[in-house]
Amino acid sequence: MNTYVNIGKSEKRIDALEKVTGSAQYIDDIRIPGMLYAKIKRSAFPHANILNIDTSDAEKLLGVKAVVTGKEFAANFKNSFFGSPMADQPFLAVEKVRYVGEPIAVVAATSEEIAEDALDLIKVEYQLLPAVLNVQDALKNNAPLIHENTNNYRYSSNIKLVFNNNICSHIEIINGDIEQGFKEADFIFEDTFTDHSSHHVPIECRGAIAQFNPNGSITVWAPDQSPYGGRSLIADALRIPESKVRVITPTYIGGGFGGKLRLSGLMPIIAIAWKIKYHPVKILLTREEEFTSTTVRHAAIITLKTGVKKDGTIVSRHAKVMIDTGAYADRGPTVLGKISYGCTGPYKIPHVKVEAYCVYTNKVIAGAWRGYGIAQACWAYESQMDIIAMKLGIDPVDIRLKNIVDEGYITPTEKQEAHAVGLGKCLLQVKEDIFRKRKDRILENRVKGNGIACGYKISRTPSGCNAFVKLNSDLGADVFVSSIEMGQGVNTIFAQIVAEELTIPFDNIRVLPADTDITPFFPASTASRTTFFLGNAVKKAALDIKKQLFNIAKDILKADEQELSLKQGLIFVTKDPRKTVKISEIMEKTYPGGISFLGRGTFYHYKKENLPSHIKVKIPPTLVWMYASQGITIDVDTETGRIKILKVSAATDTGKTINPITCEGQIEGGVMQGIGHAMFEELIFDEKGKIINTSMLDYKIPSALDMPEINSILVEEPHREGPYGAKGIGEIVTVPTAAAIANAIYDAVGIRIKDLPITPDKLLRALNNKGKSI
């Protein structure tokens, strides 16, 4: 058993002091002399040809410095569509608009108010086109085409496109023979579950500052979960070298949850920065724009046909998936991939077929959202798991334990080896916490119920990354990484790792904000990958410094490097601890006048993206699996349909907990976001595809009054390659919540809700419908 000094300890967050004193810097706190302010003119229609844009009156307004339209920008940057994995999005709409809120033109002025006033002076002539507002309509034979020329777009070879209709991408996974599996089954269940669009609602609205520089380079200050991803998106679209684009993180980001990814909602800033040249220009989205014009969570329709043996063993599953990606692909094709791979849940299912479609509609763009599709899949498979358990008369915990993947099991969809499966432990802990205390089921018109659900997710590779650590002569250390601190606590985790390895005081360590000119590559602070992948790189960088120090110390102490140990900044001969030299002495004596020690760390795992039909593949050694289970106790008011969540027991497999208090914080916040999505958060579209609840009053997120008791349980099933065994937990903590609530409702009142969100009126209708499922 390893004993650690800093790892596993609830060290205080290294960003906490700045954040409680108001000195923490976010994008809106940056002031650059000469900075102009931009506002975006947006489409009022879901689908229309742009016949003409007249900006002349706007340009005449005192204080307006420039106006740029899509046509003008596209004339200078040919085919400048951006997007990954599919470049289908213009910086500003050129020939037509595809959703209400799509950027058409940008104004830069000396103040925000003037820019805002100028928007009203821009005249746009539209020719309206019929709009497609849901996936069913989009797939009809005579549906209007949203993108006429998808075959002209550049796209990743990893995705399969379907041309000349509104299908953005398609995935088919076949493993085994589902028909054979259904023959072997004693029971077959077929259920359709739907999930809705919701918004990340970070408390900080998105913003950015951009500047074109005289040497042709572009500098962007933006709260972006992927500074390198944002950089490559701009460079790729404008056909300029990536090194000419610099993306700087404004120290802190006021919440991300997958939304602030690759300059989502912010790309028009590049067009206006190009137009005004050499002046910094800033944009800050309003809360309304956050709702109408940044990415949202994918709505999904998932049908699961599942064959089961009498004893509860799952033998076959046929999944059909449709997701609504809105007007542009954004991350839709890869989110579709995660839902498709995730349709089995963390269960052994020999025969699987998945048919999945990512569909364009004339609505706001959907993108990455905490869980990346896995939450939608979990909503379906964990709801159905309870339907199966009830029918077969098997305990919901037992049926899950029976089917959970084992160590070394090759999963049917990803074709990857399951490793460090802490899910069984999570389930048993939750069962102990929730189901043990079953009592007082009926209290007047309030009925209690318990529900349980399990989630899993993998962090796909490659996720290569580097880290630098600089050890200063005063034994302070600076960590250079391109992860971003958006609240998840990653800076604190890295400080703990460096303190642990170099045995210097935790308080001496700083983590610098990401800057693509300074900090090295990291794909994105997404996919719960940062602690695992970048944590390894940081650890290696610290160990690199330790090796350099030992290399000098060995001569001073007259011993081999292997014979040396390090403790509290002191290097000593392990077998003869009297022979010592301090790190500070090494630095002072070897380099009089001063020096810093530079450590480098690289962590790279190439994971071939195996095509699902290729069954015989070599299984690479690493993939991070994340597991969680949640149990929820509710009571239902049968007169009003109102659901009160009494308690949540949330067990999460951390691999190895590096900082217990930040892990608990992730769980508590994840559960809360899960509750919000499951019970009341929903973007409501009118008949023209316009979102009508665009304020935090009309789109309610949980407040402190909605807060149930949450028991965060940290289970540790160490990962063989995680730093100290750790894995990420940021997404999995929100994944099982919705299904656990639905299962608790069934337990309480015998009603199965298959359509999120579960609002009181929906439940009341079902209750009044004499318990028939809706």
Partner 1 sequence: MDHSITLKINGEFYKLNVKSNVLLLDVIRDEIGLTGTKRGCDTGECGACTVLIEGEPVNSCLVLAIEVDGKDILTVEGLVKNGQLHPLQIAFVEEGAIQCGFCTPGVLLSAKALLNTNPNPTEEEIKTAIAGNLCRCTGYTKIIKAINSAAKKMQRKE
Residue 51 main-chain phi, psi, to 5 deg? -85, -40
- Work out which of 669, 689, 728, 757 binds partner 1, going by CB under 8 A: 669
Measured N-to-C along each axis, helices 737-749 and 374-392 cross at an angle, to the nearest 10 degrees, of 30
The phi and psi torsions of 164 (rounded to 5 degrees) equal 65, 30
Task: Give me the residues paired with residue 191 across strands.
Answer: 304
Quote the CA–CA distance of 19 and 312 in Å, as a whole number: 51
Q: Report if residue 488 touches partner 1, rule: CB under 8 A.
A: yes
The interface region with partner 1, picked from 73-81, 270-278, 529-537, 665-673 by CB under 8 A, is 665-673
Residue (422 or 670) nearer to partner 1, CB? 670
Nearest to residue 359, comparing CAs of 443, 301, 293? 301
- Report which of 566, 568, 534 is spatially closest to residue 547, judged by C-alpha positions: 566
Cβ atoms of 406 and 421 closer than 8 Å: yes
Q: Which position among 203, 442, 518, 615 is part of the footprint of partner 1 (CB under 8 A)?
A: 203
Of the pair 287, 320, the CB lying nearest partner 1 is at 287
Q: Which residue has the tokens 């364009």?
A: 360
In the set 58, 100, 205, 365, which binds partner 1 (CB under 8 A)? 205
CB of 599 closer than 8 Å to CB of 542: yes
Distance from chain centroid for Cα 324:
17
Q: Is 701 in the site for partner 1 (CB under 8 A)?
A: yes
d(CA 174, CA 448): 41
Give the N- to C-terminal CA distance of the chain in Å, as an integer.
52
Residue 282: exposure state from Cβ atoms within 10 A (0-12, 13-18, ≥19)? buried
Coil/strand/helix, residue 79: coil
Q: Of the two residues 487 and 723, which places its CB atom closer to partner 1 in the complex?
A: 487
By CB under 8 A, residue 705 contacts partner 1: yes
Which of 476, 505, 665, 750 is in the footprint of partner 1 by CB under 8 A? 665
For residue 17, state whether it binds partner 1 (rule: CB under 8 A). Answer: yes
Least distance (Å) between residue 492 CB and partner 1: 10
Per CB under 8 A, contacts with partner 1 among 236-255 are 252-255
Tokens of 761: 């009126």
- The radius of gyration of the chain's CA atoms, rounded to the nearest angstrom, is 27
Cβ-based nearer residue to partner 1, 101 or 670: 670
Q: What is the maximal distance between C-alpha atoms in the chain?
A: 85
- Smallest separation, CB 232 to partner 1 (Å): 25
Residue 673 binds partner 1, judged by CB under 8 A: yes
* Contacts of partner 1 in 18-47 (CB under 8 A): 18-26, 28-29
Q: How far is the CB of 362 from partner 1 (least distance, A)?
A: 27
Binding letters toward partner 1, positions 281-320, x by CB under 8 A: ---x-xx---------------------------------
76 binds partner 1 (CB under 8 A): no
Q: Which H/E stretch holds residue 96?
A: strand 96-97
What type of residue is 689? G
Considering the rule CB under 8 A, would residue 662 count as an interface residue with partner 1?
yes
Q: 138 or 205, CB closer to partner 1?
A: 205
Among 5, 10, 125, 445, binds partner 1 (CB under 8 A): 10
Considering only 117, 414, 635, 664, the residue that binds partner 1 (CB under 8 A) is 664
- H/E run at residue 284: strand 281-284
SS (H, E, C) 513-570: CCECCCCCCCCCCCCCCHHHHHHHHHHHHHHHHHHHHHHHHHHHHCCCHHHEEEECCE
Strand-pair partners of 709: 647
* From candidates 268, 307, 535, 670, binder to partner 1 by CB under 8 A: 670
Residues numbered 252-281 forming contacts with partner 1, rule: CB under 8 A: 252-257
Among 487, 523, 722, 757, binds partner 1 (CB under 8 A): 487
Q: Which is nearer to partner 1, 38 or 566 (CB)?
A: 38
Give min distance, CB of 734 to partner 1, in A: 10
Among 9, 696, 750, 762, binds partner 1 (CB under 8 A): 696
Among 1, 62, 443, 697, the residue binding partner 1 under the rule CB under 8 A is 697
Binder to partner 1 among 4, 5, 12, 577 (CB under 8 A)?
A: 12
CA distance 416 to 315: 19
Q: How many CA atoms lie within 13 A of 145 on its CB side?
A: 8
Tell me: does residue 692 bind partner 1 (CB under 8 A): no
Cα–Cα dist 220/240, whole Å: 15
- For partner 1, the closer CB: 19 or 558: 19
Q: With binding defined as CB under 8 A, does residue 684 bind partner 1? A: no
- CA dist 60 and 64 (Å) reads 7
Query: What are the tokens at 426?
Result: 């999570």
Taking Cα atoms as reference points, which of 558, 579, 560 lies closest to residue 570? 579
CB of 612 to partner 1, least distance (A): 35
Among 486, 552, 564, 658, which residue interacts with partner 1 (rule: CB under 8 A)?
486
Identified binder of partner 1 from the candidate list 393, 703, 770, 772, rule CB under 8 A: 703
The structure tokens 């069934």 sit at: 746
User: Does residue 704 interact with partner 1 by CB under 8 A?
Assistant: yes
| Omega prior to 223 cis, within 30 of 0 | no
Q: Cβ of residue 483: shortest distance to partner 1, in angstroms?
A: 14
525 interacts with partner 1 by CB under 8 A: no
List the one residue from 137, 177, 668, 755 that touches partner 1 (CB under 8 A). Answer: 668
710 binds partner 1 (CB under 8 A): yes
Going by C-alpha positions, the residue among 670, 383, 489, 462 that lies closest to residue 13 is 489
Site residues, partner 1 (CB under 8 A): 10, 12-13, 15-26, 28-29, 200-205, 252-257, 284, 286-287, 486-489, 661-662, 664-665, 667-673, 695-697, 701-705, 707, 710
